[in-house]
């Protein structure tokens, strides 16, 4: 494994999915000659199950979502690509590529099977339009009720409701999508670059990345303090 970005526990398939990305933190040895990969592990034992390298050019696997038929979809941030891994397949297949997807990060399915992604670099939420056979049909950028900053982790709640972590915004949101619009409800703010959030029961669990201590020269060598996972109750 290289730098670990998105992580997804697929309880139905008893599989842990993760993105191994060839993008080391400052000061780390470069991952020369190594490719980003989508990797799978047994959810109970942790035993490796498979590794699926991203095709060139150099890429960064960032997040994963699983369709109702078991197909995995993974995002490639710098190249604006979405790959899919059909259940039982041995290699990734390019699903979509578009300049509008450059900066793609989080990915999630709604309860009706609609696929959504976020664009971390420009604060956008995008619907991935699909044909009846689930092939790629285009992109629709959603109109947001208020701006979001650095959208990152993106996980379904139920129906058309989602959890969203704003990395540079320091917030955890509940997002409700209606057609081409998305209502943003802030659940928690004042967090230090939260990259991930997930749902357990009726509680959202969010982690702080404190990425500034790796990236900002002004913070180099300083103690980032305690890292926390925050439990945030959801309204019903």
25-31 contact pairs (CB < 8 A, 24+):
25/214, 26/214, 26/215, 31/2, 31/3
Query: What is the reported pLDDT for 236?
Result: 61
For 1-97, the fitting CATH number among 1.10.10.60, 2.40.10.500, 3.40.50.12780, 3.20.20.10 is 2.40.10.500
* Residue 17 pLDDT class (50, 70, 90 cuts): very high
pLDDT in tens, 181-236: 999 999 999 999 999 999 999 999 999 999 888 888 899 889 999 999 999 999 76
Interatomic CA distance for residues 206 and 163, integer angstroms: 10
Q: Which residues contact 95 (CB under 8 A, 6 or more apart)?
A: 73, 81, 82, 83, 84, 136
Interatomic CA distance for residues 142 and 182, integer angstroms: 6
Which pair of structure tokens corresponds to residue 199? 């749902």
pLDDT in tens, 29-83: 556 668 899 999 999 999 999 999 999 998 999 999 999 999 999 999 999 999 9
pLDDT in tens, 117-159: 999 999 999 999 999 999 999 999 999 999 999 999 999 999 9
DSSP structural state of residue 150: S
CB 156 within 8 A of CB 196: no
Rounded to two decimals, the pTM is: 0.94
Query: What is the reported pLDDT for 34?
Result: 82
Please list the residue range(s) of the chain that carry CATH number 2.40.10.500.
1-97
* Whether residue 28 has pLDDT greater than 60: no
CA distances, 40 to each of 17, 48, 140, 184 (Å): 5, 6, 30, 32
């Amino acid at each position: 494994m290289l730098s670990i970005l998105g992580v997804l526990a697929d309880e139905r398939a008893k599989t842990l999915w993760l993105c191994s990305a060839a993008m080391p933190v400052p000061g780390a040895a470069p991952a020369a000659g190594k490719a980003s990969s989508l990797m799978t592990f047994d959810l109970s034992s942790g035993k490796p199950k498979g590794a699926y390298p991203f095709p060139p050019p150099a890429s960064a696997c960032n997040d994963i979502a699983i369709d109702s038929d078991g197909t995995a979809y993974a995002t490639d941030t710098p190249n604006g690509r979405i790959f899919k891994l059909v259940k039982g397949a041995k290699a990734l297949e390019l699903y979509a590529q578009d300049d509008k997807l450059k900066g793609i990060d989080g990915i999630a399915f709604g309860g009706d099977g609609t696929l959504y992604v976020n664009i971390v670099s420009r604060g956008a939420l995008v619907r991935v339009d699909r044909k009846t056979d689930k092939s790629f049909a285009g992109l629709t950028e959603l109109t947001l009720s208020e701006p979001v900053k650095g959208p990152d982790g993106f996980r379904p709640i139920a129906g058309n409701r989602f959890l969203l972590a704003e990395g540079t915004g320091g917030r955890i949101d509940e997002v409700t999508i209606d057609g081409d619009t998305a209502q943003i409800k802030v659940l928690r703010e004042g967090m230090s670059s939260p990259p991930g959030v997930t749902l357990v029961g009726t509680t959202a669990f969010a982690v702080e990345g404190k990425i500034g201590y790796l990236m900002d020269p002004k913070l180099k060598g300083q103690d980032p303090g305690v890292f926390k996972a925050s439990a945030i109750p959801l309204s019903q």
